[in-house]
Amino acid sequence: MNNEPPPMSAEPGAELARAGEIAGAAVRDAGVPGVVAAVGRGPVMLSSWVAGRADTTPGTARPMTAGTLFDLASLTKVVATTSAVLALAGRGRLGLDDPAARYLPEFTALRDGPVTIRHLLAHTSGLPDTRKFYQWCATRQELLRDLFATPLEAPPGTRVTYSDLGFLALGEIVAAAAGKPLDAAVRDLVTGPLAMTSTGYVPAAAPDRFAATERRADGTPWNGVVHDENARLMGGIAGHAGLFSIAADLRAFCAWWVGAADVAVPATLRREAESPQTAGLGGSRGLGWVRAGDRFDILGGHWPASAVCHTGFTGTSLALDSPSGVWTVLLTNSVHFGRDATAIKALRRDFHAAVAAACFRSPSAPS
């Protein structure tokens, strides 16, 4: 079988052709296995590209397609969890400045902080970044027991620490406030209203629909099973990781987010989520989203300072700017080649710089 990647297919506008060339080069140079990408403004998709392979494993290699399902990894934090929290806030089911312990009374540190839901969304709760619960816990219940016993490392609201643990807690808060499991809550509050019919946790789809992720010790990749180990222990349903989606659904999500419609989440709450929440705390965060100048910002100062973004460990990312309506979806399965992030970081940097050159006449540097 010929394992050379298939040629890139594209529908680019002339000004955005450079972004497509950059994505194709990342595949040709073997930096990433495959790419599905799109750029749009509001409801209009301006350009889209598909390149490379969803799986490069000898004997099971297959091309990437526009409909390939991706493990979104930490994009779960904004697409599912942040959006569900904001939807609940819009319905009056919780308040962003409510004490988090109101919904998770067994999580001692949230009460002692006290930690608010806003703290958790802005990564200023004081919780640690992560813990490898999967190394010593055998069940979801054991993981939650140890999560709820985790102490704060700093007083709430005093510093930014990007925290998987905070979003694990938020996933449980969504379930508690919605009165149903997290996956059902996300479906009812977010993906259902937005008609994101191919987006969800633990997707029931044929193996050849998925972008393969990291290879296991026997050489076979994770394929349709969540890559994140803690999320896997949670049965694939967690607030920090576990969501799967396709490019078309994420295009719809971005177009909705930058728009004015009060569907799922009121537009005023979406704008609040983009606004600065962490001035002077060692990071630049909104609610869920990364803002210009944060250490996780992938836009490099080329986009307006109003833009926000987020990445996923598997090689996924979203970026959007509500004032202009510009958005990007950049999906790769870079972790299929291993955990060295050099290639995906370069692709994100160069791709978004090219989009900015095409879409913004006077890009603003981060403030």
The model's pLDDT over 249-274, given as tens digits with 9 standing for 90+, comes to 999 999 999 999 999 999 999 999 99
Residue 216 reports pLDDT greater than 90 = yes
Predicted local distance difference test score (pLDDT) of residue 14: 72
Strand partners, 165: none
Instruction: Report pLDDT digits (tens) over 316-328.
Output: 999 999 999 999 9
Band of pLDDT at residue 195, cut at 50, 70 and 90: very high
233, HSE (Cβ side, Cα atoms, 13 Å): 21
Element (H, E) at 131: none
Dist CA 138 CA 9 (whole Å): 44
Let me know the angle formed at the C-alpha of 261 by 259 and 265, rounded to the nearest 5 degrees.
Answer: 100
Predicted local distance difference test score (pLDDT) of residue 362: 46
Residue 276 reports pLDDT greater than 80 = yes
What single letter denotes the amino acid at residue 106? E
Dist CA 157 CA 155 (whole Å): 6
**Alpha helix (H) ranges present in the chain?**
17-28, 76, 83-90, 108-112, 117-121, 140-148, 164-178, 182-186, 229-233, 247-258, 267-274, 342-359
Number of H helices, E strands in the chain: 12, 11
Predicted local distance difference test score (pLDDT) of residue 15: 78
C-alpha dihedral, 93 to 96 to 101 to 102, nearest 10°: -30
Band of pLDDT at residue 7, cut at 50, 70 and 90: very low
Of 37, 43, 45, 42, which Cα lies nearest the Cα of 13? 45
Average pLDDT, the chain: 94
Of 65, 313, 122, which Cα lies nearest the Cα of 213? 313
Tokens 């301006």: give the residue: 46
- Asked if 24 and 12 count as a contact pair (C-beta separation under 8 A), the reply is no
Strand partners, 329: 38, 318
Residue 180 reports pLDDT greater than 70 = yes
What domains can be seen in the chain, in order of their start residue?
9-359 (3.40.710.10)
Residue 332 reports pLDDT greater than 80 = yes
- Asked if 65 and 206 count as a contact pair (C-beta separation under 8 A), the reply is no
Q: What is the mean pLDDT of residues 331-342?
A: 97
Task: Tell me the pTM.
Answer: 0.95
Q: What is the mean pLDDT of residues 33-53?
A: 97
Band of pLDDT at residue 361, cut at 50, 70 and 90: low
**Alpha helix (H) ranges present in 66-163?**
76, 83-90, 108-112, 117-121, 140-148
Of 72, 79, 226, 55, which Cα lies nearest the Cα of 140? 226
Q: What is the mean pLDDT of residues 90-105?
A: 98
Tokens 């999967």: give the residue: 134
Dist CA 125 CA 163 (whole Å): 9
- What is the DSSP secondary structure assignment for residue 142, as one 8-state letter? H
Q: What is the mean pLDDT of residues 199-222?
A: 96
- Asked if 183 and 192 count as a contact pair (C-beta separation under 8 A), the reply is no
Dist CA 267 CA 115 (whole Å): 25
Predicted local distance difference test score (pLDDT) of residue 127: 98
Band of pLDDT at residue 8, cut at 50, 70 and 90: very low
State percent of the chain over pLDDT 70.
95
Predicted local distance difference test score (pLDDT) of residue 9: 43
What single letter denotes the amino acid at residue 336? H
Instruction: Report pLDDT digits (tens) over 151-171.
Output: 999 999 999 999 999 999 999
Instruction: Report pLDDT digits (tens) over 183-192.
Output: 999 999 999 9
Q: What is the mean pLDDT of residues 206-222?
A: 95
